[in-house]
Amino acid sequence: MKLIKKRWYIVVIILLIIGGVYYWQSTSNTTQEIASHTVSQGTLTETLSLAGSIQAEEQVQLHFQTGGRLSWVGVKEGDTVKQYDGIASLDVRELQKTLTKYLNTYSKERRDFEQSTDDNDELAIALSGTIRQRAQRVLENSQFDLENSVIDVELQSIAKEYSLLYSPINGIVTRIDTPQAGMNVLATNVFEVTNPDSLYMSIAADQTEVIDLMEGQKGVIIFDSYLDKEVTGVITSIGFTPVSGESGTVYEVKMTFTPNTGSTYRLGMTGDVEFVLSELPNVISIPDVYISEEDGTYYVWKGETVDSKKKVKITIGKEYDGNVQVTDGLQEGDIVYEVE
């Protein structure tokens, strides 16, 4: 029996030890879980962050007015072209033959007109007024036929000019739907040229955000492709009408940035732009998680340690991005604790 009682004493002691350790650990963890913040003085900044992507101000999509067979393609994707450089051409043999036909028709009409003029002028000298009127109508009809033949020649000449595509801007060839000569091309097939020196940041701002922006305002751009690099941008224009196709009322804001060449930054690259809307320098501020409110009065828990913390009344000012200005009740160096 004595042995059994002794064992029970040992079990009780072990349980007490385990309970004490558990209580000490739980008390210690509770203390550690209370976050603290050391009050400091600095600049309180209100910012606005918007997302966007790189677009090009000068970008053209070229295509033929009619389909046909490509006889020549002078570029490939990635090539640099200058303004008025040739891009591609359709087979113009049929156009040339048609033009020659119309030129022959014009020559014939011209001769007919001259002959009709000579014949009717001679008759008109001695014939009656009725015959002279008939001769005049013949001359006018010949004149119309001649003018129509001239128009046909001009239209065919224009059609021949339209068989050649040229670049209206300096840039890089960024898309070719039909890259090989001999292919049949449709009027919808595209040859695209983009000027890399005209890149800009296109960002979307809804109606509650666009009112805080203005032309000439600067912002810091961080591209997703270069997260460790900040680029300064300047707003050049703000859309007056909403962007179509958006679910909400959204306006396009254009920003130039430096450098803006295609050697580093490319079309479609995405990023975020941060604008500083206002600043309050040399103010005391703390995160809003350390502030509690009771009946319109604001408090914080302040103390040198967690155990010595006390509830202190404060006066607050403006709140920017989760940080609140404290105008009275705290000073630099005070330690505040998270609201229980």
* 10 DSSP assignment: H
Q: Which residue has the higher pLDDT, 157 or 195?
A: 195
Q: Please give the pLDDT value at position 214.
A: 95
Q: Which residue has the higher pLDDT, 95 or 248?
A: 248
Share of the chain above pLDDT 70, in %: 68
pLDDT given at position 101: 60
Does residue 2 register a pLDDT over 50? no
* Integer-rounded Cα radius of gyration of the chain: 42
Half-sphere exposure for 277 (CA within 13 Å, toward CB): 13
pLDDT one-digit tens code per residue, 121-134: 554 555 555 655 56
Decide: 67 and 140 in contact? Cβ < 8 Å: no
Q: What integer pLDDT is reported at residue 31 of this predicted model? A: 47
pLDDT per residue over 313-322, tens digit each? 999 988 888 8
pLDDT at res. 218: 95
From 227, 174, 216, 226, select the one nearest 196 (Cα to Cα).
Answer: 174
Q: What is the pLDDT of residue 259?
A: 66
pLDDT band for position 3 (cuts 50, 70, 90): very low
Average pLDDT, the chain: 80
What per-residue confidence (pLDDT) applies to 83? 94
CB 8 within 8 A of CB 282: no
- According to the model, what pLDDT value does residue 8 have? 53
As a whole number of Å, the end-to-end CA separation of the chain is 52
Q: What are phi and psi of 106, to 5 degrees?
A: -65, -45
pLDDT digits over 207-244, tens only?
999 999 999 999 999 999 999 999 999 999 999 999 98
274 within 8 A of 230, measured Cβ to Cβ: no
Yes or no: say if 32 and 332 are a contact pair by the CB < 8 Å rule: no
Whether the predicted pLDDT of 82 surpasses 80: yes
pTM of this structure = 0.64
Beta-carbon contacts of 2 under 8 Å, excluding residues fewer than 6 positions away, are none
pLDDT value at 264 more than 70: yes
- 178's CB contacts (< 8 A; 6+ apart) are 70, 73, 88, 185, 189
Residue where the block lists tokens 């009682």? 5
- Measure the CA–CA gap between 252 and 241, rounded to whole angstroms: 9
- Determine the 3-state secondary structure of 289 from DSSP: helix
